[in-house]
Chain A
Amino acid sequence: MMKRVILGVCIVTLLTVSVTLWARGSREPAPREVQVLAAMGGDEAIAFGNVLKRFTEETGIPVMYDPQSGDTVITTANTRIASGARLDVLTLSRPGNILGWAADGHLVALNDGDDPVVPAEVLYDNFSQSWLDLAAIDGRYYGVPLKAFSKSVVWHRPASFAQLGLEYPETWEEWMQVAETMVENGRMPFVVSGADAWTLTDWFENIYARVAGPEKYNDLFIRHGVSWTDPTVVEAMEYFREIIGNDDWIALGREGAIGLRRDEAMGLVLQDPPQAEMFYLAGFMDRVGRANFPHLRSGEDYSFFPFPQIKPEWGNVVVGGGDHAVAFNDSREVRELMRFLTKPETAEYFGSQERGAVISPNRNASRRMFTGAQRLEAEQIDSAEVFLFDGSDMAPGAVGGDAMFTALQEFLMDPSRLMESLEYIEEVARRAY
């Protein structure tokens, strides 16, 4: 009897031990969830969510995905940094903030050390130097370029141009001529969206890049090496005043324009009958067209022409923007994700989303999936002789996200206050850099 009990105990013990050992041996430590904070909204947020889902499917690494608007992302990130809460990967279109975090030691340099997160050769292979440099300090790269967009596009209806027998303007003079012809024919040439003040900073950036050239442009925004009261800045503002100084040239007048949000402004051009003929803004407004005017064909019923040239010596300039993905922590899971975001296949998958597709700066990614105006935008970005990044996004927040907003809105409300507006930006800039 005793023997049987001992035997039984032995067998049970043996079984338990072996099962435990087997179980331990076969199980790797469970992958840690990657926390992703993304400055993405609407369809784009959903599309990027799909990209992350695919990452989880391929690698088994779970992702906690938190898309927010651009402003709140910065606030959230700063609060998390200050409080020590975890944040792994972030996507953002403001290199100024990214470089600030990098300088404070919060970010992981991708190409650092013997076992880099992403080897430099892989980055060079997929992205142009200028894209990498936007988020780099002394040859250490912090950001994977994720998305590119053009902000040098003028939306219109090609049919209107055909009816009036107009050609697309290539120079500023031709553009003003087009506007005058439209007025003579009882059309309203422009709509300006002043409520989203960044649309006004984009106007200024496009004009300034074409008046003063790339070097001064970067000097003004990145280093404040050019004063805001510099003659080149004044000249650019005077060009802008040719349009907004003319109350009959902008839909709803200046008073109305200052209250217009960008989606409404785009709507004024696309609605039937249109309340305005031309709306300057960004390539991504195509999405508003597709979503709110599904009966119109992008690239045919409505389309864009590039922002006309001002001084020919600066060549074919495109002002645009884009997002970088940056890593706040170095772990196996974060490395996997950063490498995944570098791949051309990922860029193509992001680009082939039915809604919210984005154009990737990855030069190995195919462009064949794009249709309509988005295809034109990809071509514009790829063929740009000079691609300048959105200046206000490179400037410190107090300048690019506040003082410029206030000053340009004031300028739109009262174009005679040109110098006062510029002096205000200069005063803030002196403190902020």
Chain B
Amino acid sequence: MGTVSNNTRGWLFAAPVLLLVTLYLVIPTLWTVYFSFFTGGFQPDRFIGFENFRRLFTRDRLFLDLSGFPWSGALLNNILWLVFLPAGAIAFGMTIAVLADAHPWERVIKVIVFVPIVVSNTATAIIFRFLYNMNPRIGFLNAVLTSLGFKPRPWLSSREYVTFALIAAAVWIWTAFAMTVFSATYKALDKDTLQAATVDGAGEWQKFWLISLPMMAHAVSFVFITIFIQTIKIVDLVLVATDGGPAGASRIIGFSFYWETFQNLDVGYGSAIAVVMLVILLPVMVLQVRRFKAEEQ
């Protein structure tokens, strides 16, 4: 073994992983970028340059429609998702993690909030389809509304509500994740600092806002980035809950990618959407890698 230099040995150890990453990540990614300049099915047919991208941003009104107000399309829906899903999950997750901490029912509360994390997106979609059903005899939400004297609302079948209704379902799932991370971080906070603050006369709100939250900044950014990346990748929740409908109003980028590639077999066009996803995700991934490196040092 003495004849093998340390450098070579390092490469040897990394080789299996490098091989797998190249095979299953790097090559398919390059292949997808290549596909995005072609028309045709799973065999690229004709080179068309940037035509797929041009169509995506100027002529596909289900992807981006700037012709009327409010603007619409999968891209804009996804921006709503990126704003409200991480924000909602972080807000609820933090609130529950902090308020339930040291509460006599802490365990029960956390188990209940944790449950959605083990429920698949498909099952969540079906649960919420029932919950949102327009018929008050089936839909819980509308049953509550009608019992209070309001009219039932078409949660999943109107352009105004559908995206927010789906985001709410996703918040239900991701609150569990956020709470778990925040709860662990909160428990690990330096209690002496907090006690010192109490002695100095700080209120609970001040302690949370000025001491606990800044000390948990790392956890918050970790949760944010994780949910951000997941949000771009969501397909199943939308597919099962609404099929992207009504009339394409609840599409998001991941859904459009799936739909164009596998439903319409427009693989080049689907690849172009995947490239857009990659472009959105790249900066976030670079940020994440930098953070990991910084933490190692």
Contacts and interface: CB of A to CB of B under 8 A. Distances in A.
Given A259-B154, A402-B263, A413 B246 contact: yes
Interface in B18-54: 41-43
Contacts of B59: 427
A407 B263 CA distance: 17
Interface stretch (A20-28, A250-258, A337-345): A250-258
B262 interface: yes
B134 A256 contact: yes
Given A194-B157, A397-B264, A398-B264, A252 B135 contact: yes
A237 B246 CA distance: 19
Interface centre among A260, A268, A402 (most CB of B within 10 A): A402
B117 to A, nearest CB: 26
B236 interface: no
Contacts of A71: 263
A82 interface: yes
Contacts of A409: 245-248
B263 A397 contact: yes
B154 A255 contact: yes
Nearest to A428: B264
A356 B157 CA distance: 31
B156 A397 contact: no
B262 A406 contact: no
Q: How large is the interface on B (under 10, 10 to 19, 20 to 34, 35 or more residues)?
A: 20 to 34
A197 interface: yes
Binding site of A, secondary structure by majority: helix, strand, loop or mixed? helix
A78 interface: yes
Given A197-B243, A398-B266, A402-B263, A264 B138 contact: yes
Q: How large is the interface on A (under 10, 10 to 19, 20 to 34, 35 or more residues)?
A: 20 to 34
A256 B134 CA distance: 6
A180 interface: no
A264 to B, nearest CB: 7
Contact of B62 (A74, A258, A401, A406): A406
A163 interface: no
A56 to B, nearest CB: 32
Interface in A373-407: 397-398, 401-402, 405-407
Contacts of A197: 243, 245
Contact of B247 (A78, A398, A410): A410
B135 A78 contact: no
B247 A406 contact: yes
Given A194-B246, A259-B134, A397 B158 contact: no
A195 interface: yes
Given A264-B138, A406-B62, 13 more contacts: A75-B262, A78-B265, A195-B156, A195-B246, A255-B158, A256-B157, A258-B158, A259-B133, A264-B133, A398-B264, A398-B266, A409-B245, A409-B246
29 contacts: A74-B262, A75-B262, A78-B42, A78-B262, A78-B265, A82-B41, A194-B157, A195-B156, A195-B157, A195-B245, A252-B134, A255-B158, A256-B157, A259-B133, A259-B155, A259-B156, A259-B157, A264-B135, A264-B138, A268-B135, A397-B263, A397-B265, A402-B263, A402-B264, A406-B62, A407-B247, A413-B159, A413-B246, A424-B61
